[in-house]
Amino acid sequence: MDRLDNTIRPYAWGSTTAIPKLLGVEPTGEPQAEMWMGAHPGAPSLTERGTLVEAIEADPERELGAAAVAKFGPHLPFLLKILAAGAPLSLQVHPNLEQAKEGYADEERRHIPVDAGHRNYKDANHKPELICALTEFEGLCGFRAPVEAADALDGLGVDSLKPYVDLLHAHPEEAALREVLTAILSADPDEMAHTVAEAAAACSRLGGAYTPYADIAHHFPGDPGVIAAMLLNYVRLQPGEALFLGAGIPHAYLSGLGVEIMANSDNVLRCGLTPKHVDVPELLRVVRFEAGDAGVLRPEAAPDGEEVYETPIDEFRLSRYVLPEGTTAHDLTRATPQILLCTAGSVRVGEHELTPGRSVFVAAGEKAEVSGAGTVFRATVVA
Catalytic positions? 270
Burial, 196: exposed, middle or buried (Cβ in 10 Å; 0-12, 13-18, 19+)? Answer: buried
Beta carbons within 10 angstroms of residue 113's beta carbon: 9
284 closest CA partner among 257, 240, 250: 250
- The rounded Cα 23 to chain-centroid distance in angstroms is 21
Q: List, in sequence order, every residue forming a beta bridge with 318; answer none if it has no partner.
A: 309, 379
DSSP character string of 246-305: -TT--EEEEEEEEEEEEES----EEEESSSS---HHHHHHH----B-----B--EE-GGG
Residues 6+ apart with CB under 8 A from 183: 163, 164, 167
Contact 315, 78 (CB under 8 A): yes
CB 279 within 8 A of CB 116: no
- Host H or E run for residue 370: strand 369-380
The 8-class DSSP code of residue 32 comes to B
d(CA 298, CA 132): 9
DSSP-derived letter for residue 159 is: G
Instruction: Report the distance separating Cα 87 and Cα 218, nearest Å.
Output: 10
Alpha-carbon distance of 164 to 12, in angstroms, equals: 32
Q: Which amino acid is at 141?
A: C
DSSP-derived 3-state class of residue 162? helix
Exposed/middle/buried for 351, CB within 10 Å: 0-12, 13-18, 19+? exposed
The amino acid at residue 44 is P
What is the sign of the dihedral through the CA atoms of 349, 351, 353 and 357?
Answer: negative
